Structure formats: structure tokens, C-alpha cells
Amino acid sequence: MTVKEYNNAVREFGDHVYRFIFRSIKDRHRADDIVQDSYEKLWRYVTEIEYGAVKSWLFSTAYNRMIDVIRKDSRLVGVEYYDDSSLYAEENGSDLNEVLHRALETLPPAQRSVILLRDYEGYSYKEIADITALSEAQVKTYIFRGRVALRNYLEKTSIWQ
Amino acid sequence: MAMTEDTDLPRLTPLDDRLQGKGRLFRRPEELTDEQFDLLAAAWADDALSGDSLAETEEALTSSPERRMRAESFRQIRLYPLIDRWEGRNRMLKAAPGTYAIRRILIVTLTVAAALGALVIPGPLKTKPDNKSAGPAVAEAQKIGEAITIAEAQTTGEALIPEASPVIKTQPAAGVTSATQNMNQTAGAANPSIDKTSSTRLAGVISGSAADITSKPRPVGMIPESLRPERIVPQQNDITASVTNSSIHANGEPRTTAEIAEYRDLAESIALMHDFSGAVPLLAVGPEAFRPAPLELKNIIRLPVPEREENWIVRGLSLLAEAITKEPTSVDGYFIADACIKGVNRVLGWEMELEQEKNNEGEQLATNFSSSLLTFSAPAKKNHH
């Protein structure tokens, strides 16, 4: 990959990787750090990575870095288990997409990430499996369970009626 | 002895034991629980089913319109990206190796230009170290007999007067006439000292010679109209003064023309100075001043202090800006330096700052510069206290 291709990767995929990480951990500063670390790592291996594979490589690197951060940060791990019942009353009159994003925050990190990769980036189950180092069956299970959880969340709000 | 196959590998043959209620375990798609159906519906909505799975699910959906509606609702469970922009994107862009050298040269050049702008250009705007520039008013004596003795107020710093210059500090206003008279007692001395306890209330010491005093006759045409003799209204309490015909008296009687001429040289050697605050008038006189001279300096007026003389670079830039914009434009050193630094910031994305520190009266105290690499504060030059 050339310097020009590297810069293209920054311009083209930077926002994508950032929004994936940010929506996964809901922390702008950490997301910024994680994406920046990923690009710094890309720059170190710039001559070894093909431009065609750089997007998946970036998502994979950022995802793994995010998992490390989540494991180290007990507060973020706690998000997986927090009580979301107080959220339901506030969803009246909101846009469905915004409500879904709020509902997404109630999902476990693994489900959240695979759904984001599927919906935001349109990756296939196989590609998601490669990025997240999960099996394809696991990816499918996480996605389907996640969608059921999102639907159940919507059912509890008035926006679904 | 030959062994038969049966004796070599004895095997158990299944008996006819069959599951009697096997038929009860068969399930139809309609029998899926809601949770199971939701998972299947999610997969169906995600187009993840194929072959027999898809056929069976379709069959279940056909048999139950409610479930079809529920399954259809999963198609709405899609996340669309919100506007999340990565603000640190530009930080990660890398320049091509060839552009590094150009960028470095550009950075160094612009930084030097900004530093020069911040440090050098504002400098000349301060007081010039001579008697003809900024500072307390200096009165230049004019020829008394011709038209008027006008002291042109010029600005110069008290500290900038050469030590050799004869300078007498006096208390404000009172006793100027008697000061002159008492000076007579020490006339002829090369460096006469003035008794501080005398009625003149002299506060300083005379030193040096009159040659250091700059005295330049000025044509009448250059005298401001407000200061011409016919316009001057004597005021008792004015401090820094110009001497006019009508201000020279002998025992209350006006002097003759001959007497006036006699004191012409004396008048030329007198320079009246005044500091900015107006509290302490300064009187500079030459040795000639110590001749008998019943000079009354009643008519003292406050002289206007001209504006600071601008640096030629700044003046030129102001004129250029005026010519381009067709509007009166005042460019000063700070303006130029600030523009340089803002330009560098815009080009390189740096965060350098230049700011003026002023007191409550709007006087500049210092210029502060700050950046990630360098921070300094340059105090403004003071020419008065």
C-alpha cells in the first residue's frame, strides 16, 4: 500500500471505523483513541497490507483494540447488565432510528458489534466472522438474538404501535 | 484349528425394541414457540434462510397471518448510520516524503516571519531615543522680537535627555519667575547647583552645557494657529509654557524692544519640558539663563502633544491598505504580527496565539505569545512613569 493509498484509507474509512467503535462503546474520546491507534498500526504495516483488504483489517484491528479496552474498563463491561427499564418512558415521539440506537446500547457488546457491522457496513456473516474472530454460526446467532432484543425493546415503547 | 468369523468377533444383534410413541414427537412449524419463531423470523427477515428452512418458514407464515405480520416487523429492525464524524482524521494523514522537506522549510520560514512580526515590528513604534520624538513636551524657543516665542511641544522621555543637558526640575507651577531670578546668583558656573531650599523650589541639579539643548527656530507658517501670539490667552496656572512678547515684564512694566532683543538668546536657550502626568514640570536652561533676567513666565500654556511618529514600515503598510481598501486603515505592528500568526495557524493547523496585555487605561503593558513549543511575554517599552 502506498502513502497515497494510506491517506485514501484515512479519508474513506476513518469515519466508518470511528462510528462503529463509537456506537459500540459510546465514548467519543476512547473511540477516537482506538481509531487513532488502529491507523498508527496500519501505518507501521503500510507496506505489508494490500489496499483491497485494508477496510476489513482496520475494522478487525479496531474491534480487537475495543475488546481490550472493554475488558480493562469495568464500567463499560457493566453496560451489558444495566437496567434499561427507565429508558422506555422517554421514547415517545422519537425517530425509529434514534430509538433503535438507544436500544442498541442495551445489548451485550458482542451483539452490538455484529449488528453494527451488518447494518452499517453491510458485511456478510463470513466477513463479520473474520473481523470479530467468531464462527459464522456464532455471528448469526448474535445477530438474530440482537434483533429480537431490539424488537422487544421497541414493543415496550409507544413508537412501535 | 480354524476359527470361524462368529467366534472371532462376537456381536450383539438388536432386538425388536421400538419407540412406541414416536409419532408424538413430530413437530410442525406452527408449533414453534414465540421465542423460537422470533429467531426464525429474524433470520428470515435477514435473508439468512435457504432451502428447506426457508420453505418451512414460509409455510408457517402462510398458516398464520399474525406471525407473518410479526415476521415482517423484523424487516424494520435496521440501523442506519447517524452523523458521526471522526474529528481526528486530518491528524492521521501522512505527507508524501517529498513534501516533508517543503513543509519544513515553509514552517520554519513562517515561524520566523511570525516571530519577527511579533518582536521586531512593534519595537520601532515605541519612543524614539531622541529629543524630537515621543515623550514629555519640549519647548523650543522662537525669536521673541519677531513674532512669537513658541515652544513646539514634542514628545521625548525624561530619561532620554543626555546627562550633559542642563535640566532643572521644579515643583509645579509656582515660583517660576523667582526661580529664574535665583538662578542669577549662580550664573557663570559651569555646572552650577541650585539650592533645593531656595524659594525657587528647585528639585533638580543643573549639569552640562547649553549646547546639548536642541533649539530650532520654526517659521511662523509652521506654528499652529492656536498658538500664534494673537490667539494666546495668558493663563496664570498653566505649567509648560511658551514665552511671548507680552509675557516679559520688568517690575510690572512691559519691556522695550531692545530689552526684548537682549533676552532673545536667553529665551532661545530655555526649553520647558513637562512630563506626561503634568504633575512635575521640567525646565531646561543653558548657562545664559543665569544672567540677570527679570523674566516673568506668567503666560504658560499647555502645549499639545503630537501623536506618536509611526514606523515607516507601518506607515507604508497603512497607506497601502488604505489604497487597496479605499477606507482609512490603521495598521500597527501588533496587527501585522497577529495576521502572520493567524495565517500560520490556518495553513498548518497550529494553535499559536498573540495577545496584547493592557491596563485599565488601554495602555499596552506587554505582548504575550504562546504556542506548543514556545511561550514568552515581551513587556512594552515604557517612556514615562
Residues of B with CB under 8 A from a CB of A: 35, 38-39, 42-43, 45-46, 48, 73-74, 76-82, 84-89, 91-97
Contact status, residue B303 vs residue B140, Cβ threshold 8 Å: no
Residues B84, A22: C-beta atoms closer than 8 Å: yes
pLDDT at B323: 83
Q: Which residues of A touch B84 (CB under 8 A)?
A: 15, 18-19, 22-23
CA neighbor of A114 nearest in space, from A103, A101, A102, A125:
A125
Residue B208 vs residues B104, B165, B190, B240, B293: alpha-carbon distances, Å: 56, 5, 7, 22, 21
Higher pLDDT, B210 or B19: B19
Q: Which residue of B has its CA nearest to A112?
A: B79
Helices (H), B3-79: 5-8, 34-45, 51-63, 65-73
Q: Calculate the average pLDDT of chain B.
A: 63
Which SS3 state, helix, strand or coil, does residue A40 take?
helix
Residues of A with CB below 8 A from B80's CB? Answer: 97, 119
Residue A127: predicted pLDDT: 94
Which residues from chain B sit within 8 angstroms of residue A23, using beta carbons?
A: 82, 84
How distant is the alpha carbon of residue B262 from its chain centre? 54
How many Å lie between the alpha carbon of A72 and the closest alpha carbon of chain B? 23
pLDDT greater than 70 at residue B379: yes
- For B193, other C-beta atoms within 10 Å of its C-beta total 12
Is 50 exceeded by the pLDDT of residue B52? yes
Which pLDDT value is given to residue B86? 86
**How many Cβ pairs within 8 Å bridge chains A and B?**
90
Q: In this prediction, what percent of chain B has a pLDDT beyond 90? A: 2
Measured between beta carbons, which residues in chain A are less than 8 angstroms from residue B72?
A: none
Residue-wise pLDDT tens digits, B96-155: 766 767 777 788 888 878 777 766 665 544 444 444 444 444 444 444 444 443 444 444
Pairing of strands B167-169, B249-250: unpaired
> Tell me: the pLDDT tens digits for A79-132?
444 444 444 444 444 688 888 998 999 999 899 999 999 999 999 999 999 999
* A23 with B91: Cβ contact below 8 A: no
Per residue in B271-312, pLDDT tens?
Answer: 444 444 444 444 445 555 555 555 555 555 555 555 555 677
Q: Do B80 and A19 touch (CB under 8 A)?
A: no
Which residues have C-beta within 8 Å of that of residue B63, sequence separation ≥ 6?
B29, B30
Report pLDDT digits (tens) over B54-75.
Answer: 888 888 888 888 888 888 889 8
Question: Do B149 and B143 meet the contact criterion of CB atoms below 8 Å apart?
Answer: yes
- B215-223, long-range: CB within 8 Å, 24+ apart, which pairs? B215/B140, B215/B141, B215/B268, B215/B269, B215/B271, B216/B140, B217/B140, B217/B142, B217/B143, B217/B268, B218/B140, B218/B142, B218/B150, B218/B152, B220/B146, B220/B147, B220/B148, B223/B142, B223/B147, B223/B148, B223/B150, B223/B152
Please give the domain boundaries of chain A with CATH numbers for all domains. 1-82 (1.10.1740.10), 83-161 (1.10.10.10)
Least confident residue range of A57-66, B221-230, B234-243, B372-381: B234-243
At B141 the pLDDT is 40
pLDDT of residue B249: 52
Q: Among B74, B80, B86, select the one facing A147 at the smallest CB separation.
A: B74
Res. A29: pLDDT tops 50: yes
> Each residue of B193-251: pLDDT tens digit?
444 444 334 333 333 444 444 444 444 445 555 555 454 444 444 444 444 444 445 45
SS3 B295: coil
CA distance B329 to chain A (A): 42
